[in-house]
Structure 1
Amino acid sequence: MDRLTEMEAFATVVDQGGFTDAAKKMGISKSAVSKHVSSLEARLGARLLNRTTRRVSPTEIGLAYYDRARRVLNDAGEADALVTSMQSAPSGLLRISVATDFGVNHLSPILGDFLSEFPEITVNMVLNNRFVELISEGFDMAIRIGELEDSTLRSRKLTETTRRMVGSPAYFARYGRPQKIDDLNEHKLLHYSNQSNGNVWKITAPSGEKRQVRSAGWLTVNDGQSLLNAAISGLGIAYLPSFLYREALEKGLIEEAIPDLPQERLGIYAVYPPGRFTQPKVRSFIDYLVSHFAGMEAPI
């Protein structure tokens, strides 16, 4: 006989308290349930049930076996559900956390096409500029830029961006242009307040050496577009990703502060909770993003 069926018959008898109710639960005859349990006991060489005319109860060995058997049956049920889920059309509410700047510039414009392709999915995209806890705050996934902190989250790289220091021509005309990294200490710096390392810029020198610039800064704000606007207004030098400053740079509203420095490349990742499989709605959106960014010139 099938081992899993024997196990299921035994566990159902324990759950239901007898063969008759177990047979009704499984949709088979009482004699079939009895045969399955007897076959299991014979194979194991142990009595698992105490049988009387009035009641059926597990033996000490039977109770210990029941605990393990129920886990196996639950896992088998989850495995079946997984296959069904993987084959079904992606559906349900997809809750995404993304930084405002990236969400506005790169996710909002493509959501319409994604939802047209997957009409059973609904999206709740939360634009914020803080580090969210995916699981405790109920998010299915997030988009993160830069070096990922050590985490139990799973991740998939979508594309890359670059980061440069920029300021307005009016600012450089008034305060001069820094010629090297050390000169930044004499300038007005514009900081992003949600950096985990505070007001510290990590910069690669022409030699390849990693340098850190620490400054209280003239302005600190938690929004990249606001930093760009401040730089354009001549308030100081900002350190921004290229998807934010590229258009302003092309229009001549800003200039690179130290053009000879190597470009800082930042990975852009989809991160999502760990698990033995990825929900179809999450997998479909990540696949869609990978395909979308693969068709663009990188870095963005």
Structure 2
Amino acid sequence: MELLNDMALFVEVVKAKGFRSAAEALGMPNSTLSRRISGLEKAIGLRLLHRTTRRIELTEAGQIYFERCKRIVDEARLAHEQLGEMLAQPSGVLRASLPVDFAVTYLAPLIAEFAELYPGITFDFDLTPRRVDLVSEPFDVAIRIGELADSQLIARPLASLTPYVYASPVYLKRCGVPGEPEALARHECLGILRAGAWHLSDGQRSATVPVAGRFNLNSVGMIRRLATLDRGVILMPEEIVADEVASGRLQRILPDWYGTPTNVYAITETRLLPAKTQRFIEFLRERLARRA
């Protein structure tokens, strides 16, 4: 790379017909430019320029070298421009692992917008509950919610989701509307993997409420569905239940209280990402921050 840079400097000196004019155009000290060209001559073992106090002249070898350097530098600049165009419109298959309910409920319209922006990208999504192995499996990125296990993977924060308390109108009519967090202990609460307690806050006070119910599941979608079927109270980010709230199948209760925020991450195996993956992560971060 340094040799190519020195070749480009040599071309500029010849075009400017002198070190001073070239140095001014390049925005670098005249002495530095002269030293770089002298170093180039030593590196290739050829005298390229005759230097006088008033001007420079190409040697015979310098003329041949200049023509070849100009062709190489021009080709390199063209390749750089083409690379920039390719990065501006990345292409290829984007393989991503996504959390099922969050992807279907919340990410789907964002992914549709991203696909519209980058028509050269095709998509291969895995929405199974399993945690894919980014090292041994051919995934570009995984979107994950919640605490991450210690690993050598690269985690880029995308957003923070705050959970609120919801129940169906029918359930609330049958069992009553809790007025304080402590009242949840007397309700059917639908939890993930036997959470045991919900930690709530209103910004000034906090409450740890023991919760129990007939259902304990490891599926956010199933918990949400059971809540719409009047089976109990849930603590869930509003992004996950937005459709149910909009349709009236669920309503928010204890409106001043919220649970512990949960982080959303983009996980990759390396920091050196292809353009398609970089654009996808940047797009999600920008859109999720806008909705926060």
TM-score for the superposition, normalised by structure 1: 0.59
State the SS of the aligned residue for 2:96: strand
Report the AA paired with residue 227 of structure 1.
I
Q: How far apart are the structure 1 equivalents of 2:116 and 2:252?
A: 40
Seen in structure 2, the aligned counterparts of structure 1 residues 262 and 104 have a Cα distance that, compared at 3 Å, is closer
1:279 aligned onto 2:269: no
1:224 aligned onto 2:220: yes
Q: How far apart are the structure 1 equivalents of 2:186 and 2:266?
A: 38
Aligned length: 212
Cα deviation, 1:269-294, whole Å, max 9, x if unaligned, reads 2121134x223221121122223334
State the SS of the aligned residue for 2:107: helix
Deviation at 1:190, TM superposition (A): 1.3
State the SS of the aligned residue for 1:244: coil
Q: How far apart are the structure 2 equivalents of 1:104 and 1:247?
A: 11
Task: Give the match for residue 114 of structure 2.
Answer: 114
Q: How far apart are the structure 1 equivalents of 2:196 and 2:137?
A: 28
User: Bigger CA drift: 163-172 or 135-144?
Assistant: 135-144
Seen in structure 2, the aligned counterparts of structure 1 residues 286 and 209 have a Cα distance that, compared at 3 Å, is same
Deviation at 1:154, TM superposition (A): 1.6
Is residue 167–residue 233 contact of structure 2 (8 Å, CA) maintained in 1?
yes
Task: Give the match for residue 211 of structure 1.
Answer: 208
Seen in structure 2, the aligned counterparts of structure 1 residues 86 and 268 have a Cα distance that, compared at 3 Å, is farther
Task: Give the match for residue 239 of structure 2.
Answer: 243
State the SS of the aligned residue for 1:93: strand
Seen in structure 2, the aligned counterparts of structure 1 residues 149 and 182 have a Cα distance that, compared at 3 Å, is farther
Cα deviation, 1:169-216, whole Å, max 9, x if unaligned, reads 2212222333444433332121234xxxx434441244544636353x
State the identity %: 29
Seen in structure 2, the aligned counterparts of structure 1 residues 256 and 116 have a Cα distance that, compared at 3 Å, is closer
Q: How far apart are the structure 2 equivalents of 1:212 and 1:135?
A: 40
1:269 aligned onto 2:265: yes
Q: How far apart are the structure 2 equivalents of 1:109 and 1:85?
A: 31
Q: Unaligned regions of 5+ residues in structure 1, if any?
A: 4-35, 37-82
Task: Give the match for residue 144 of structure 1.
Answer: 144
Task: Give the match for residue 297 of structure 1.
Answer: 291
1:184 aligned onto 2:219: no
Is residue 99–residue 130 contact of structure 1 (8 Å, CA) maintained in 2?
no
Q: How far apart are the structure 2 equivalents of 1:210 and 1:235?
A: 23
Is residue 196–residue 210 contact of structure 2 (8 Å, CA) maintained in 1?
yes
How large is the RMSD of aligned CA atoms in angstroms? 3.2
Q: Unaligned regions of 5+ residues in structure 2, if any?
A: 4-42, 44-79
Seen in structure 2, the aligned counterparts of structure 1 residues 141 and 208 have a Cα distance that, compared at 3 Å, is farther
Q: How far apart are the structure 1 equivalents of 2:105 and 2:247?
A: 18
Seen in structure 2, the aligned counterparts of structure 1 residues 84 and 187 have a Cα distance that, compared at 3 Å, is farther
Is residue 170–residue 234 contact of structure 1 (8 Å, CA) maintained in 2?
yes
Is residue 162–residue 259 contact of structure 2 (8 Å, CA) maintained in 1?
yes
Q: How far apart are the structure 2 equivalents of 1:187 and 1:85?
A: 62
Seen in structure 2, the aligned counterparts of structure 1 residues 184 and 93 have a Cα distance that, compared at 3 Å, is same
Task: Give the match for residue 30 of structure 2.
Answer: none
User: Bigger CA drift: 281-290 or 142-151?
Assistant: 142-151
Task: Give the match for residue 258 of structure 1.
Answer: 254
TM-score for the superposition, normalised by structure 2: 0.60
Report the AA paired with residue 265 of structure 1.
P
Seen in structure 2, the aligned counterparts of structure 1 residues 266 and 142 have a Cα distance that, compared at 3 Å, is same
Q: How far apart are the structure 1 equivalents of 2:242 and 2:231?
A: 19
Deviation at 1:116, TM superposition (A): 4.2
Report the AA paired with residue 279 of structure 2.
S
Is residue 167–residue 252 contact of structure 2 (8 Å, CA) maintained in 1?
yes
The 5 A counterparts of 1:165-184 are 165-184=165-184
Deviation at 1:144, TM superposition (A): 1.7
1:98 aligned onto 2:98: yes
State the SS of the aligned residue for 2:261: strand
State the SS of the aligned residue for 2:123: strand
Task: Give the match for residue 163 of structure 1.
Answer: 163
